[in-house]
Amino acid sequence: VADLVRGRDVSEAIEVLTFTNKKSAGIIRGVVESALANAEYKANQDTADLDVDDLYISAITVDEGSMLKRFRPRAQGRATKIQKKTSHITVHLATR
């Protein structure tokens, strides 16, 4: 899903993610919106002129995060490992 929005304008990327029928699309949409809000906040702090329409996603990566290790009881007194995987999503915005 990250490949769908890499290199697109932020408004176009949010629109694409809104109508994509994947579970991760909603999560990535939230991260992109958060990156946009962070860029606006940082521009206001620095009193810089930032046009939101000029922002695009220059890089987006999804890396493997830490793993939660659990056990589930099974038949005849045995146990099976359950690994709950997490990930780190990084979004870099730039101006055109």
- What pLDDT score does 66 carry? 95
27 C-beta neighbours (distance < 10 Å), count: 15
Task: Report pTM.
Answer: 0.83
- What pLDDT score does 52 carry? 87
- What pLDDT score does 96 carry? 86
Cα-flanking dihedrals φ and ψ of residue 15, to 5°?
-65, -45
CB-based contacts of 31, cutoff 8 Å, min separation 6: 89, 91
Chain centroid to Cα 85, Å, comes to 15
Q: Identify the CA nearest to 5 among candidates 70, 75, 56.
A: 56
Q: How does pLDDT run along the chain (96 residues), one tens digit per residue?
A: 999 999 999 999 999 999 999 999 999 999 999 999 999 999 999 888 888 889 999 999 999 999 999 999 999 999 999 999 999 999 999 998
- What pLDDT score does 80 carry? 97
- What pLDDT score does 76 carry? 95
